[in-house]
Structure 1
């Protein structure tokens, strides 16, 4: 069984099932009356063409708690370490050894989050996957690995779209968190065999499902695509962590989409405060496990790269340079942001100890 204990294990245990593929007409009012949700989905699109659709991997709400823990722990460690390091009693060897042991213990406890994140920046180990909705083949392809089995390799899963049971699963700890979940069950026993966790709580799950259904079941003209904001970012081939971090700002309209280096002041103000969080999210984009790179999925693709009926904003020359790591405006901006961010911590520690 592939599911965590807090999710259903039998199709009859689904929390709030909604209409299945092709079971009834798509509610077009969901696409016409929810402009904010449609705009959000347009920004989240990674690829869309006659053959497959993907979104950026959804972000968990606990991401902010993780970053908060890192900032708090590093800050507290810096304050205590610098204050205590000058209080060591070199004349009393046992007390000196005890103080050193306590400092090492504090370092392990407080700085493990930062060390792990820096390790992730370097190794780029995938910890989330993308789901590929294959329109021509009417299948969904993705990688799966149990959350608690970090050392276990990802396994490719390919399921039939028509076998999906969509469900609005409400999180027990947060009643406002209701993401869209897709299940596939054994037709004879009803036991769930596949669980696709889209887990995007930033959008109405019913709108998200109507959007997916429209792509999979309807002509291209029926899908509400805004070519002004819908852009296929080449994060899967990017060599630049900084260019991926720019996506965070560009999706929110803070930066222009052509990576031209505009609106620098706003980026410095915002980016220098939450730089670590944005870089962590950029790393998340860079190292996502992608089913489309698997040979078995590539065999299912039929689009030849020509005549895409879905309007996508073209990648600009500046953006191509940025994702290759050769856009100096992007690189200099993020280096300055990191230096400002580090400077804020140094200033805080010095101010505390003076």
Structure 2
């Protein structure tokens, strides 16, 4: 079973199954939802006659992780600047109790920041990406149980026609209803594969209609707008900063050519949430991608020419950015980090003054 405890273990226990592949006509009215379609266009990582894939959906833990890092770092700084500083530099005393207590304090409040920096450097896989292979009518992805983090990722290839889509509603958050795709044993009904798309920012019915249209219909039927759908080479990027720019470009804050315009808005927004942006960029940069596996590569037949799906090409500036050689992008993010560090130091000093 490839399921968390809060998901169904048997196909009869699914929450809200919807139409399966090829079993009913696609509801084209869902594809007229402008906001959801624009969102999906911005999330597309690549679309061509062979495969469709989205940028990996982010997850709720991100918000709590960043908050934990900030508050833990804040209190860690407060402790060292005030409590330890008073004991060592003012009272000139330092007992065994102070040493043990300081060590425990570092472990409790310093671990989030240490793990955060460790992830930025090592780039361990957090999420995987699903590849919808149109010509082969398959879905390829990597899987590893959450609790078996030492186990290597295993490549999974499932038949698209066997997928059972379900709208799983989180019992603790009724607004969170992601699209889940299951594959079950036809004899026992036990679920053998679970694909968690987990994009809560889009109507899951629209997302499923979008996927079905790609897999089952002609290219002209897919609502692709090159104004929003951009080719992000996140899987080949050597630049964390270029990946972080994706966040701004998806929200329309920056143009897509990495030309350096719109810097003031980036400084204002980026300086406040720089850690969050960099963490999300790290997520894009190191996602486990099945497309790199030879067993998936040999399923592809597209020669890279005459893509029937309109998608905004990568500019020369963007290519330099993703190679880490665009000085405007690099300088911008260095300045953002310096501003962010300065604000953080100011807050700690002000609190302890």
TM (norm. structure 1) is 0.97
- 1:122 and 2:126 aligned: no
Match of 1:251 in 2: 250
Match of 1:232 in 2: 231
Match of 1:25 in 2: 25
After the TM superposition, list the runs of 4 or more consecutive aligned residues in structure 1 that deviate by more than 4 angstroms: 89-95
Matched position secondary structure for 1:292: helix
**In the aligned structure 1, how far is the partner of 2:292 from the partner of 2:129?**
11
Higher deviation after alignment, 102-111 or 149-158: 102-111
Match of 1:328 in 2: 327
User: Unpaired runs of 5+ in structure 2?
Assistant: none
Q: C-alpha offsets along residues 309-328 of structure 1, whole Å, 9 cap, x if unaligned? A: 00000100100000000000
- 1:14 and 2:42 aligned: no
Match of 1:241 in 2: 240
Match of 1:210 in 2: 209
**In the aligned structure 2, how far is the partner of 1:53 from the partner of 1:336?**
36
Does the CA-based 8 Å contact 1:88-1:96 persist in structure 2? no
- 1:264 and 2:263 aligned: yes
- 1:107 and 2:106 aligned: yes
Matched position secondary structure for 1:87: helix
Matched position secondary structure for 2:65: helix
Does the CA-based 8 Å contact 2:244-2:280 persist in structure 1? yes
Offset of residue 117 of structure 1: 1.0
Does the CA-based 8 Å contact 2:11-2:191 persist in structure 1? yes
> Residues 142 and 91 from structure 1, CA distance in 2 versus in 1: closer, same or farther, beyond 3 angstroms?
closer
Does the CA-based 8 Å contact 1:179-1:199 persist in structure 2? yes
> Residues 245 and 91 from structure 1, CA distance in 2 versus in 1: closer, same or farther, beyond 3 angstroms?
closer
Show the 5 A alignment for 1:15-94.
15-32=15-32, 34-88=33-87
**In the aligned structure 1, how far is the partner of 2:206 from the partner of 2:186?**
27
Matched position secondary structure for 1:88: helix
Q: C-alpha offsets along residues 258-297 of structure 1, whole Å, 9 cap, x if unaligned? A: 1111111110011011000000000000000000111100
**In the aligned structure 2, how far is the partner of 1:218 from the partner of 1:146?**
34
Q: How many residues align?
A: 353
**In the aligned structure 1, how far is the partner of 2:316 from the partner of 2:88?**
60
Does the CA-based 8 Å contact 1:89-1:96 persist in structure 2? no
**In the aligned structure 2, how far is the partner of 1:20 from the partner of 1:353?**
60
Show the 5 A alignment for 1:181-200.
181-200=180-199
Offset of residue 94 of structure 1: 8.6
Does the CA-based 8 Å contact 2:87-2:93 persist in structure 1? no
Does the CA-based 8 Å contact 1:67-1:277 persist in structure 2? yes
**In the aligned structure 2, how far is the partner of 1:89 from the partner of 1:287?**
43
**In the aligned structure 2, how far is the partner of 1:91 from the partner of 1:49?**
67
**In the aligned structure 1, how far is the partner of 2:179 from the partner of 2:330?**
37
Offset of residue 149 of structure 1: 1.2
TM (norm. structure 2) is 0.98
Offset of residue 97 of structure 1: 2.3
Q: C-alpha offsets along residues 80-111 of structure 1, whole Å, 9 cap, x if unaligned? A: 21001222268999952211221221111111
Does the CA-based 8 Å contact 2:50-2:134 persist in structure 1? yes
Offset of residue 170 of structure 1: 0.5
